[in-house]
Amino acid sequence: MQSDTIHEIQALLELRANGAYGLHRVTQRQHALQAARLAEADGQPDALVAAALLHDIGHLVHDLGENPAAEGVDDRHEELGHAWLTRHFGPEVTEPVRLHVAAKRYLCATEADYFARLSPDSVRSLALQGGPMDAAEVAAFKALPHHAAAVTLRRYDEAAKVPELETPPVAHFMPIVARCLRPAS
């Protein structure tokens, strides 16, 4: 039932996202809300706003710890989140989530100044995730149908680390998430 899914997502964000987001002075919830707020403020489609809100849900549906990268572990949260989200959403939401780590690798390979703008946590995790893409990986990434949305999501992800930034509450985004749910079968 769709309302059960919305309640589950809201509970994950309100009850399990209190932990620190890596070494940043924001929580997982604040990070998610900031990313969604940025997407909404830019007038992005509902699917990208939902993807921005849910891009790190892999951290919440699996106990990955607060900062696995500090321990030298690539937690593959994008794959874990994608697997969980595909039960409820179509590719317009799930693919940007799955590809947001690849988008970081892509941007580091294609924009000369992107790496310099990464937070220390993102630099550490980039090394664990394979580093900047090579030319073949860039070409393969650009051929994916949702690569542009993933790049946009990645930019929101990097910008969504501002301590004490006011955002709407989780409940504000639940109607947007609900509109993106696949119809119940």
Identify whether 117 is part of a domain. Answer: yes
The reply to whether 112 falls in a domain is yes
- At 62 the pLDDT is 72
CATH code of the domain covering residue 112 = 1.10.3210.10
Q: Is residue 51 part of a domain?
A: yes
Domain count, the chain: 1
The answer to whether position 90 is within a domain reads: yes
Quick check: is 185 in a domain?
no
pLDDT of res. 73: 43
Who's near 179: CB < 8 A, 6+ residues apart? 46
Give CA separation, 136 vs 23, 47, 109, 111, 126, in Å. Answer: 32, 29, 11, 16, 18
* pTM exceeds cut of 0.85: yes
On average, the pLDDT of the chain sits at 88
Domain span at 42: 2-180
